[in-house]
Amino acid sequence: METTETTQIDYTVRRLRAEDAQGVVDCVRGIYGDSYIIHTEMYHPEDIVALNEAGRLVSVVALNGDKIVGHYALERPNPASRVAESGEAMVLPEHQHHHLLEKMRLLLEEEAARLGLHGIFGRTVTNHVFSQKMVERFGERPCGVSLGRTPRTFRNMREALPQRMSVVFYFKYLGAADAVRVHVPPRHEEICRQIYEQFQVRLESHASQLVPESGEFVVEHHPELRRANILVRRVGKDTVEQVRNAHRELCRAREVEVVYLELPLTEPGTPETCHALEEEGFFFSGVAPLYFPQGDVLRLQFLNVDLDLSLLQIESPFAKSLLTYVDQERHRIKANGTKTSPG
């Protein structure tokens, strides 16, 4: 049964219908013009409908009469995943300050429960603290910082941002989680323990186990964002060399400015792999609970551009301390003689 909620006499919040898709596109253009390059599908009504029908997007819209004035969604690239990303949140400027994002978020959490999801994560921008405050009101907690995630021109502004946009990675468990058993690098065990304590989740270290010969990983390259992700699905004895080669090729031939590396905390080879790849220039940037089908993820990153972290606006005291830790690790890696551009 469709859930409908009226926020006040002029506004209605509900799940997206096929006939709403063009209105969503108009809403995107009204806010971002043509600059919303992180989600180009939002300019194509047929894509919005198809993604929702496939379960890869769960869209909620806010209407003023018959006009779409807001959109918020759960993004599920893999519909079999236990978690979804909250994102594509927007309200036309003339309809802001009516708590529409909050109302859409409530409906999204109802949808997440209906789908049997175990968690919701979000990436909040750091050129203001509004989105950080909003997700914290819904119980999400900071668990990572992604420096330089999007280009200076990714938003529709009169002037470009002074540098690449950094984001704070947030997470919320939708069910009970008493403890996690993971393979955490000893150097980062304390900060990881602090992250999990926010969720009242106990960190338990796995005993050492044998590492298989062969690993498995994929590379996601986004040339329009000058960004790449290296997702290690299984850690093997060959993983360090494979990731090192992929990383150097990305930075040499493709002019990538930032590379994110995700290592499964369920794998016994992750601590040694983390240590080895820190020598390649990667540095700690957080954890992502339930991010992979098999469990939690350790997140590292490589930054190929300069950033002034004093420009970042951070709301949460813990997020500030997490940013400090990430920055300390970034400088430690540089001080140890790693190259800023591998070759």
Cα–Cα distance between 311 and 127 in angstroms, integer? 8
Separation CA 123–CA 224 (nearest Å): 19
Cα–Cα dist 129/127, whole Å: 7
Residue 96: CB atoms within 10 A of its CB come to: 14
CA neighbor of 64 nearest in space, from 20, 28, 109, 31: 20
Token pair, residue 157, equals 């502004």
Res 2: pLDDT: 54
pLDDT tens-place values along the chain, 343 residues long? 455 554 445 899 999 999 999 999 999 999 989 888 788 899 999 999 999 999 999 999 999 999 999 999 999 988 888 999 999 999 999 999 999 999 999 999 999 999 999 999 999 999 999 889 989 999 999 999 999 998 887 665 556 788 999 999 999 999 888 899 999 999 999 999 999 999 999 999 877 788 999 999 999 999 888 999 999 999 999 999 999 999 999 988 778 999 999 999 999 999 999 999 999 999 999 999 999 988 999 999 999 999 999 999 999 999 999 999 999 999 999 998 654 444 4
As a whole number of angstroms, the distance between CA 22 and CA 15 comes to 15
Q: CB count, 10 Å around CB of 261?
A: 26
Q: Positive or negative, the Cα torsion across 239, 241, 242, 243?
A: positive
Q: Which domains does the chain have, with CATH numbers?
A: 7-173 (3.40.630.30), 206-335 (3.40.630)
Give SS3 for 155: coil
Q: How high is the pLDDT of residue 156?
A: 53
Using alpha carbons, select from 151, 27, 169, 146 the residue that is nearest to residue 96: 27
Looking at residue 7, its pLDDT comes to 46
Give the residue from 328, 293, 335, 333 showing the smallest Cα distance to 191: 328
**Dist CA 286 CA 303 (whole Å):** 15
**Three-class DSSP category at 75:** strand
Q: What is the DSSP string of 4-65?
A: EEEEETTEEEEE--GGGHHHHHHHHHHHHTT--GGGGGGG-HHHHHHHHHHTSEEEEEEEET
pLDDT of residue 36: 84
Q: What is the pLDDT of residue 268?
A: 95
Structural tokens at position 317: 């005291």
Say if CB 37 and CB 154 are below 8 A apart: yes
| C-beta atoms surrounding 93 within 10 Å | 10
Length of the chain: 343
CA-CA-CA-CA torsion for 319, 157, 303, 284, nearest 10 degrees?
20
DSSP state for residue 297 in the 8-state scheme: E
For residue 159, what pLDDT is reported?
A: 65
Q: How far apart are the C-alpha atoms of 137 and 211, rounded to whole Å? A: 41
SS3 per residue for 164-218? CEEEEEEEEECCCCCEEEECCCHHHHHHHHHHHHCCCCEEEECCCCCCCCCCEEE
CA distance 148 to 242: 24
Residue 226: strand, helix, or coil: coil
Spatial CB neighbours of 260, under 8 Å, sequence gap ≥ 6:
146, 227, 228, 229, 230, 285, 299, 300, 301
